[in-house]
Structures are given as structure tokens and as C-alpha cells.
Amino acid sequence: MLETISSQPTIFSFDKIVIVGTGLMGTGIAQVAVESGIQQVIVVGRSNDKCEEAKKKVLLGIQKSTKRKMANETQEEQQKYIEAIMKTLKFVCDLEDADLLNADMVIEAVVENLKVKQKLFVDLESRVSENCLLVTNTSSFLLEDVSCKLNENRLKNFGGLHFFNPVPAMKLVEVVRGNETLDKVNEALFRFCQKLGKSPVKCADSPGFIVNRLLIPYLADSMRLAESGNASHRDIDAAMRLGTGHPMGPFELMDYIGLDTMKFIMDGWHQRCPDDHRYTPCESLERLVNCGKIGRKVGEGFYRYTTTTNK
């Protein structure tokens, strides 16, 4: 049966949102938020340098999308549009300066470290209003674990929005419902993603949600197949590109994701589910990460990367 979305308006507004984190995810979410018409977006970084760097990334992203969307407009009109959008965006280096009490939503987009995320939400819950939605962008942790140190009454307004990198280009957002998340909160998060121009999907709180739950075992099986000697990683990549229409083969994809990230996710799930063979560490992954060969970002992973070639 197809799920229908109620046409009834939500009681939640998203006039002002706060994003904590100035990495790729934080800046990407900030860009799509201001471009969608959110009245005020505040991004919290760790330092002035991080904030300035993030501001430049967002500005560059907006300039590129504006040139594409307003190709028939003059440069002057494009510039006015960009300046108007940037006025709705603010960067601060401290939670104290984020005006959290008036925030409708706070989105956590910090490093994928459970203790760091837990501490942040404890810091946030005493600073935001009762109706403020607290949201995590975690890709590998259970919402149950991220929110376990929050007061019980806060859990009803807690949920997950798993954006995908690069955020401006990727249409999908996984709207993750915690065990205590209210129906109206889950619906509000879904509608928020639609406002951002995304195509949200709903899922319950479980390891990997939807995409990673299916993707990580596939990538691990690809490594095990290559380790068995039955096929090379190049041939496996070619087979999956040409045979299934995937834009990248599994080894190309892992290099793009980052082998350190891949190992981090697999190790975490293996600890939580030690009897599940799908998450058992892979020898080739362990070896490459230990050697510092963690993918495209350092120039070498399963493949070597230069300025003139991808492999």
C-alpha cells in the first residue's frame, strides 16, 4: 500500500535553524537551507578560521547554483540574489552566540564520534526552547545511542536527518524516527526536507538506516570476493558498472567515501553485532587503512589517483 502524506499543516515552523558543524555536511545543509528560503540559518564552528572557510564554501556553492538557475538573468541580478541569500546566513564560533533559545531546529553535523555527539546534545538541551527540534545527521550510529544522555522529555522532539554528500546535489534524505519521536515531529522533519527540495524517505532507528544497511554489506562482500582471488577489484568494478548500471564500482565508491570511514562504520557495527558475518573486518581494508591509504582524499586507496588519471 502506498503511503500518503497528510495535507494538514504542521505546528512546527522552520524560520530559524541552527547547524552545528562546518564540514562538508554542515556547509552543504546550510547552502540548501538558505537557498530554500529559510529566514535565518546560523552555523556554529569551532574557530574563526573554520567559520571563514565554511562561509567561502557556501558562497562558492551558491554562486555555482545561481549561475545555473539564473542563466538567463544578468550578472547584476544574479549578484543581488546571492547577496540577499547570504544575508540570511550567519557564522558563529560559540553556542552562546547562536541564539539557540529562538531556534526552531538544531541540526548536529559534527564529527562522527559518539561521545562528541552525546556531549553536544546535552549542551544543547538546556539552551533551546521546549518545542525546538533536535536533529542528528549521523550516518552510522543508532539514534538511541546518540540521544541516550538526553532528558526523557526531550526524546519526543529528537530525530535523524541523514543527508548524503554532496548535500546540494544529492536528492535523498533519510528521515529517521527514534523510539520516542512523536508522529508530528517525524512528519515535520519530512516536510522540512521537502522544503529543501529533497526527496525524503522514512525509516525506523536501526543500524545503517536504509542505504548504508544495504550498501556496507555489499561493499564488504566485494572486498571478500577480491580477497578470495576469484576476481580482481578492477574487474569487479567493471562488472558492477556495466552489469548493473552503477555509476561507480564498489572499490571506486569506497575510495570516494574514504576507507577510514568505511572501516569506522564496519568496526562499530561489528562491535554491536559481533555474530553478524556481514560486518566482520576485511583484511584488505585493514591493511590499506593501517598504511594511510584511505582513498581519493589522500591520492591512494584501492586505486592511485593523480591530477591526470583516476586510477
142-157 pLDDT, tens digit each: 999 999 999 999 999 9
Active-site choice (162, 222, 252, 300): 162
Cα–Cα distance for residue pair 216/257, rounded to 1 Å: 11
Residue 8 falls within a domain, yes or no? no
pLDDT range class, residue 307, cuts 50, 70, 90: low
Q: Are residues 81 and 181 in the same domain?
A: yes
Q: Are residues 102 and 188 in the same domain?
A: yes
Active-site choice (108, 125, 174, 187): 174
Q: Which element (helix H / strand E) includes 19?
A: strand 16-20
Is 270 considered catalytic here?
no
Cα–Cα distance for residue pair 53/226, rounded to 1 Å: 40
Is 130 considered catalytic here?
no
201-218 pLDDT, tens digit each: 999 999 889 999 999 999
pLDDT range class, residue 8, cuts 50, 70, 90: very low
pLDDT of residue 7: 42
Closest CA to 266 of 256, 257, 278: 278
Q: Are residues 165 and 189 in the same domain?
A: yes
Query: pTM for this one?
Result: 0.88
Domain that holds residue 285: 214-298
Active-site choice (137, 139, 140, 157): 139
Residue 9 falls within a domain, yes or no? no
Residue 4 falls within a domain, yes or no? no
- Indicate the number of domains in the chain: 2
Q: Are residues 221 and 154 in the same domain?
A: no
Q: Are residues 247 and 200 in the same domain?
A: no
pLDDT of residue 4: 42
Q: Are residues 23 and 60 in the same domain?
A: yes
Mean pLDDT throughout 113-121? Answer: 96
Q: Are residues 183 and 222 in the same domain?
A: no
Q: What is the CATH number of the domain that holds 45?
A: 3.40.50.720
Cα–Cα distance for residue pair 311/298, rounded to 1 Å: 13
Is 230 considered catalytic here?
no
Residue 311 falls within a domain, yes or no? no
In DSSP notation, 183-250 reads: HHHHHHHHHHHHHTT-EEEEEES-TTTTHHHHHHHHHHHHHHHHHHTSS-HHHHHHHHHHHH--SS-H
Mean pLDDT throughout 95-101? Answer: 96
Q: Are residues 196 and 257 in the same domain?
A: no
Is 162 considered catalytic here?
yes
